């Protein structure tokens, strides 16, 4: 049959069903009449003829039903019927519908929210050519607990000597001050990229052009810039004449040659830079000298490239190792002991390759927890359906009696639960927007530009939502439907449904036990995340973060000379200190737990030099900072030995340094650090004048890290962060700080103007990831608990209502009401204890997994496990209490009479 | 002669074959099979109509309302091209089946 006929047939059987049915009935009628006629012709009396025809024909309606099936597309008819019927049922039982939809909706929204995060983090391809082949290079260095980037010189070696990595490109994201003619300078981030960058990534220009061959290859001769589409649109109002305009980048004149295509955001996921300049312009832009291209310890470039055909990551890793070996033997190379350079696929490197091992595990944990919540919700609704199936026995029995098959009835019930689930999916989708708004408050703060395009949802989330809703519908509805349709006609017609309660109760008990078990797991996970957040928040940062306001600025980018800069800073601190409510003011070069960790190689100045690069025996990586004389006091770092910096530490006096305990312990174990001198790769030996306690420098989760402080007067370094210690709420001082900065230099861009508490909360290196985890898992825990309690209550209440007669008899036979109460509660308690036991065992396994992820987490955290056990027991018992009270109130006379 | 249970699938073949000689309504089909089988086969309406509708859906036969020989309204079924092809195929299959069964019955001891 051709397609047209199939379609017309289908349409006819669905939309003109009444006519088709009538047709069929008419045909049967004709047939019967013909039969009667023929019987008459054979000599039967009219009555006999009719009766014989009827007997032979059987039940017309049964034939009609079979006929409908045979016509095909019966399922479409059925679906239509089922949907209409299901909707009618849902509308009729509004209370049930609302509870079921909200329950499933909550469960689904948790899953949709988590999946949308996972989707953004792992599945959204980067807008580049062949995104799935794009690899990012990363170096694991056991010495600094951090994976590091690559130096330009190393990049060139990899680019030229690793055949498994095609078209390696390098980029360096840096803040700059962009100023357009006639406008105030703005702080923005640009990516400094290697010459083949755009071509390799397959980027196109929206207007103008990108690098031409030969551009960006020789140092300092190509002052050209390509703008990103979003910067061009948002900051320049989509100026069509922008190509050919000039812009001052850190005071250097650059020509805009083009705007990149709308979606192109470079090689780094989630980053929305203002534009791209050739890496060859780095010396001109940042005054670093051309050594940035030769110094192998200057490892700041992000290196990406495409996996060559026929290669896998391991094979390229082997080639990288060969190059690393050669690099290690070169003079001037950093220490390569234990260093492993490897490739990570771009989609696995988000948000940063350094956490690429950690995130998939975290995502899996959260997805699993989300699924458990959905299962709790499904079990709840399944329970409701069980209860309802009992009350629908009659209806189903009658339908079965008039010829509906079991499959047909099951389909009907399944359609109803699917309908519920789909409505719940819509509700869940809406709720996930609420959750997303909550998560937005937790997104990383700080100075680095986020590409907003990257954090938008995708169609995959929609697909996921639909799939999960359907799954939930089937999971919820299948068992109750199968059970409900196993109808015993005799029993239904007789009017009583009894004797089968035990098995159904068993089913419901199993559901509630698993609910409680899942709930325990979700609650324990939530509790562990919250504990870990608490512990991280209590961690000794090495300074006191309360009542501290801050703001960052970069005088270099604004073209200040050293003398001018010193004068500006003196004036600035003087003015700030004069603000009311200010206790003290200080500034330092590195912001703790900020974007620029400031790691440097240092050694005991007395140790033997290994080569002319300045590498010495026993060299270690330490977090550095350059601070003014008030810094240690203002930050309340706690000087353990020696003295603070003072105004006599100048360029003309001996160089001095203050170290932390961890550094002293590492370089001079058991000795007095004040007897020693510290030295960097380049520079003079610095006399250790003091020791401060060890804090947190790069990441909140780091183990004790060596660190040292230089005196600002001896090591001017322009990018600084101001720290203002206040007597009261530090946020109140921020407007005053801004006003003063504005007055002293109207054009100076300021960033990170916030309180220290806010910085710690939002920085991705501080509490942000933990807060995010605690928020999600905490919300999961609350939803799970709510659902599980509902489940316990429903099951206990149902069992009481089923046992009213039994209770009545017991009471009539002289049982105390107290005994009845105990029986009911004991029944509930049994389920709770079994569920708790099972849940706790699984949670123990989970907490061992989490302990690998979380800061200072004891996998046997007593408050969490104890709290969850006690809390869940108490709340579940409360859920039993109300039905138990109802059982106590049973009046034996009434119950028995009714039965 | 007692009634014979039809083999599964044979009903389609019989209906197709009966319709080969021209359009016929449901009662006529049943009647004709009954007569042609020397009253050995009686097609219940409960099996006839589902079979007819199924064949209609498969496109082997088509139906049209008309007037029967004794001036009654009736639905007449006729073979389509696909139906003729199907008939040929089913006849061949039937032949192969009966030959095979006959051979087994004849040769087995």
Dihedral, A597, A598, A604, A610 alpha carbons, nearest 10: 100
H helix and E strand count, chain A: 26, 23
Whether residues A208 and A332 fall in one domain: yes
- Rounded to the nearest angstrom, the minimum Cα separation between A57 and chain B is 6
Residue A842 lies in a domain: no
Residue A228 lies in a domain: yes
Q: Do B27 and A31 touch (CB under 8 A)?
A: yes
Whether residues A168 and A277 fall in one domain: yes
Domains of chain B: 10-107 (1.10.10.10)
Whether residues A630 and A716 fall in one domain: yes
Q: Does A584 have pLDDT greater than 90?
A: yes
How distant, in Å, are the alpha carbons of A64, A183, A394, A540, A736 from that of A664? 93, 49, 83, 18, 40
Q: Is B34 on the interface with A (CB under 8 A)?
A: no
Between CA A86 and CA A6 the distance in angstroms is 28
Q: Do A66 and B49 touch (CB under 8 A)?
A: yes
Q: Does A275 have pLDDT greater than 60?
A: yes
Between CA A521 and CA A221 the distance in angstroms is 61
Length of chain B: 109
Whether residues A149 and A32 fall in one domain: no
How distant, in Å, are the alpha carbons of A111, A119, A453, A657, B4 from that of A464? 9, 10, 20, 57, 56
Residue A650 lies in a domain: yes
Whether residues A24 and A141 fall in one domain: no
Residue A497 lies in a domain: no
Residue A349 lies in a domain: yes
Residue A768 CB neighbour total at 10 angstroms: 20
Residue A310 lies in a domain: yes
Q: Does A515 have pLDDT greater than 80?
A: yes
- Specify which of A407-416, A627-636, B60-69, B90-99 reaches the highest per-range mean pLDDT: A627-636
Question: Which of A53, A72, A91 corresponds to the end of one domain?
Answer: A72
More confident residue, B108 or A219: A219
- Specify which of A519-528, A727-736, B34-43, B58-67 reaches the highest per-range mean pLDDT: A727-736
Chain centroid, CA A32 distance in Å: 69
3-state secondary structure B33-67: HHHHCCCCCCCCHHHHHHHHHHHHHHCCEEEEEEE
Specify the pLDDT at position A550: 94
Confidence of residue A497 (pLDDT cuts 50, 70, 90): very low
Specify the pLDDT at position A577: 93
Contact by Cβ (8 Å): A599, A588:
no
Between CA A385 and CA A134 the distance in angstroms is 50
Question: Which of A72, A106, A124 corresponds to the end of one domain?
Answer: A72
Residues 6+ apart with CB under 8 A from A150: A137, A139, A158, A170, A299, A301, A302, A303, A341
Whether residues A21 and A143 fall in one domain: no
Looking from the CA of B97 toward its CB, the CA atoms found within 13 Å total: 10
pLDDT, tens digit, for every residue of A126-141?
A: 889 999 899 999 888 7
Q: Do B45 and A56 touch (CB under 8 A)?
A: yes
Whether residues A58 and A143 fall in one domain: no
Measure CB to CB from residue B45 to each of A9, A31, A69 and give the nearest one: A31
Q: Provide the strand spans (E) within A261-295.
A: 275-278
Confidence of residue A496 (pLDDT cuts 50, 70, 90): very low
- Rounded to the nearest angstrom, the minimum Cα separation between A508 and chain B is 41
Residue A627 lies in a domain: yes
Question: Which of A735, A760, A785 corresponds to the end of one domain?
Answer: A760
- If one counts the domains in chain A, the total is 3
Say whether A654 sits in a helix, a strand or coil. coil
Whether residues A658 and A753 fall in one domain: yes
Q: Is A25 on the interface with B (CB under 8 A)?
A: no
Between CA A21 and CA A795 the distance in angstroms is 44
Chain mean pLDDT for chain A: 84
Find the domain containing A212 and state its range.
132-355
Which H/E stretch holds residue A151? strand A150-151
Q: Does B1 have pLDDT greater than 50?
A: no
How distant, in Å, are the alpha carbons of A558, A564, A570, A745, B25 from that of A742? 14, 17, 16, 5, 98
Whether residues A642 and A710 fall in one domain: yes
> For A170-184, A437-451, A515-529, A790-804, which range has the lowest pLDDT when averaged over its residues?
A437-451
Whether residues A552 and A660 fall in one domain: yes
Confidence of residue A70 (pLDDT cuts 50, 70, 90): low
Q: Does A615 have pLDDT greater than 60?
A: yes
Q: Do A30 and B54 touch (CB under 8 A)?
A: no
Q: Does A17 have pLDDT greater than 90?
A: no
Interval A598-602 mean pLDDT:
84
Q: Does A862 have pLDDT greater than 70?
A: yes
Confidence of residue A499 (pLDDT cuts 50, 70, 90): very low
CB pairs under 8 A between A and B: 69
Looking from the CA of A748 toward its CB, the CA atoms found within 13 Å total: 25
Length of chain A: 899
Residue-wise DSSP of A496-512: ---S-HHHHHHHHHHHH
Measure CB to CB from residue B57 to each of A9, A31, A37 and give the nearest one: A9
> For A455-464, A480-489, A665-674, which range has the lowest pLDDT when averaged over its residues?
A480-489
Q: Do A71 and B75 touch (CB under 8 A)?
A: no
Whether residues A157 and A21 fall in one domain: no
Specify the pLDDT at position A227: 95
Q: Do B45 and A1 touch (CB under 8 A)?
A: no
Whether residues A67 and A143 fall in one domain: no
Strand partners, A187: A177
Q: Does B45 have pLDDT greater than 80?
A: no
Structure tokens belonging to residue A179: 């100023």
């Amino acid at each position: 049959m051709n397609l047209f006929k199939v379609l017309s047939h289908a349409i006819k059987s669905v939309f003109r069903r009444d006519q088709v049915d009538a047709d069929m009935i008419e045909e049967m009628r004709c047939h019967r009449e013909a039969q009667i006629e023929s019987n008459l012709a054979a000599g039967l009396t009219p009555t006999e003829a009719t009766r014989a025809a009827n007997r032979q024909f059987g039940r017309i309606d049964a034939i009609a039903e079979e006929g409908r099936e045979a016509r095909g597309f019966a399922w479409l008819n059925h679906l239509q019927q089922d949907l209409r019927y299901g909707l009618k049922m849902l509308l009729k039982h509004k209370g049930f519908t609302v509870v079921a939809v909200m329950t499933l909706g909550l469960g689904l929204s948790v899953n949709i929210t988590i999946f949308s995060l996972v989707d953004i983090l792992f599945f959204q391809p980067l807008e580049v050519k062949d995104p799935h082949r794009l690899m990012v290079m990363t170096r694991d260095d056991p010495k600094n607990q951090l994976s590091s980037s690559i130096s330009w010189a190393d990049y060139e070696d990899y680019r030229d000597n690793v055949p498994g990595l095609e078209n390696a490109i390098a980029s360096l994201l840096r803040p700059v001050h962009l100023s357009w003619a006639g406008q105030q300078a703005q702080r923005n981030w640009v990516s400094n990229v290697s010459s083949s960058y755009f071509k390799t990534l397959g980027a196109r220009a929206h207007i103008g052009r990108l690098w031409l061959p030969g551009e960006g290859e020789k140092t300092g001769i190509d002052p050209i810039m390509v703008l990103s589409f979003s910067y061009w649109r948002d900051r320049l109002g989509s100026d069509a004449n922008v190509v050919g305009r000039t812009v001052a980048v850190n005071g250097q004149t650059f020509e805009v040659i083009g705007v990149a295509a709308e979606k192109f955001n470079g090689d780094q996921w989630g980053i929305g830079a203002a534009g791209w300049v050739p890496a060859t312009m780095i010396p001109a832009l940042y005054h670093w000298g051309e050594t940035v291209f030769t110094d192998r310890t200057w490892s700041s470039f992000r290196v990406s490239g495409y996996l060559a055909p026929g290669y896998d990551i391991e094979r390229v890793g082997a080639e990288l190792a060969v190059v690393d070996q050669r690099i290690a033997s070169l003079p001037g190379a950093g220490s390569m002991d234990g260093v492993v350079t490897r490739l990570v696929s771009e989609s696995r490197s988000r948000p940063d390759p350094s956490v690429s091992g950690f995130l998939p595990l975290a995502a899996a944990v959260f997805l699993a927890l989300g699924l458990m919540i959905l299962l709790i919700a499904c079990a709840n609704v399944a329970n409701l359906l069980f209860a309802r199936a009992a009350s629908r026995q009659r209806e189903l029995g009658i339908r079965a009696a008039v010829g509906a098959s079991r499959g047909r009835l099951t389909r009907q019930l399944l359609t109803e639960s699917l309908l519920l689930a789909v409505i719940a999916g819509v509700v869940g989708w809406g709720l996930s927007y609420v959750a997303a708004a909550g998560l937005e408050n937790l997104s990383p703060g700080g100075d680095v530009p986020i590409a907003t395009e990257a954090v938008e949802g995708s169609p995959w989330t929609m697909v996921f939502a639909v799939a999960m809703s359907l799954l939930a519908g089937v999971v919820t509805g299948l068992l109750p439907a199968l059970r409900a349709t196993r109808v015993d006609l005799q029993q239904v017609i007789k009017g009583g449904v009894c004797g089968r309660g035990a098995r159904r109760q068993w089913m419901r008990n199993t559901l509630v036990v698993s609910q409680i078990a899942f709930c325990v797991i979700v609650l324990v996970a939530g509790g562990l995340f919250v504990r870990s957040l608490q512990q991280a928040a209590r961690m000794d940062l090495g300074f006191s973060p309360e009542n501290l306001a801050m703001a960052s600025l970069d005088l270099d980018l604004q073209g200040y000379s050293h003398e001018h800069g010193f004068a500006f800073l003196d004036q600035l601190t003087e003015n700030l200190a004069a603000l009311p409510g200010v206790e003290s003011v200080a500034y330092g070069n590195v912001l703790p737990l900020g974007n620029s960790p400031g790691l440097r190689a240092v050694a005991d100045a007395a140790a033997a030099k290994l080569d002319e690069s300045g590498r010495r025996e026993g060299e270690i990586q330490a977090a550095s900072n350059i601070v003014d004389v008030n810094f240690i006091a203002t930050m309340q770092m706690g000087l353990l030995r020696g003295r603070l910096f003072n105004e006599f530490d100048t360029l003309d006096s001996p160089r001095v340094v203050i170290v932390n305990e961890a550094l002293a312990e590492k370089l001079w174990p058991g000795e007095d650090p004040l007897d020693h001198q510290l030295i960097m790769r380049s520079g003079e030996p610095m006399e250790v004048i003091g020791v401060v306690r060890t804090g947190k420098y790069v990441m909140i989760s780091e183990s004790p890290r060596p660190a040292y402080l230089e005196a600002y007067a001896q090591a001017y370094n322009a990018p600084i962060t101001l720290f203002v210690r206040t007597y009261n709420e530090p946020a109140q001082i921020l407007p005053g700080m801004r006003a003063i900065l504005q007055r002293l230099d109207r054009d100076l861009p300021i960033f990170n103007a916030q309180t220290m508490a806010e910085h710690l909360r939002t920085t991705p290196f501080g509490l942000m990831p933990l807060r995010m985890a605690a928020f999600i898992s905490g919300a999961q825990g609350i939803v799970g608990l709510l659902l599980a309690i509902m489940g316990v209550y429903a099951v206990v209440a149902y069992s009481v209502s089923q046992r009213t007669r039994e209770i009545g008899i017991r009471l009539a036979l002289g049982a105390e009401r107290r005994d009845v109460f105990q029986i009911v509660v004991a029944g509930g308690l049994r389920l709770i204890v079994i569920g708790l036991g099972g849940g706790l065992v699984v949670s123990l396994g989970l907490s061992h997994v989490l302990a690998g992820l979380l800061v200072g987490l004891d996998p046997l955290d007593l408050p969490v496990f104890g709290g969850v056990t006690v809390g869940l027991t108490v709340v579940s018992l409360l859920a039993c209490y109300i039905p138990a009270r109802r059982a106590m109130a049973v009046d034996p006379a009434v119950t028995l009479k009714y039965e | 002669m007692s009634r014979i249970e039809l083999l599964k699938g044979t009903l389609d073949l019989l209906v197709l074959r009966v319709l080969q000689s021209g359009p016929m309504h449901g009662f006529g089909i049943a009647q004709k099979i009954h007569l042609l089988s020397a009253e050995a086969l009686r097609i219940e309406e409960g099996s006839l109509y589902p079979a007819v509708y199924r064949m209609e859906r498969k496109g082997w036969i088509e139906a049209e309302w008309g007037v029967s020989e004794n001036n009654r309204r009736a639905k007449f079924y006729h073979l389509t091209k696909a139906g003729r092809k199907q008939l040929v195929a089913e006849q061949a299959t039937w032949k192969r089946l009966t030959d095979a069964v006959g051979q087994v019955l004849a040769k087995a001891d």
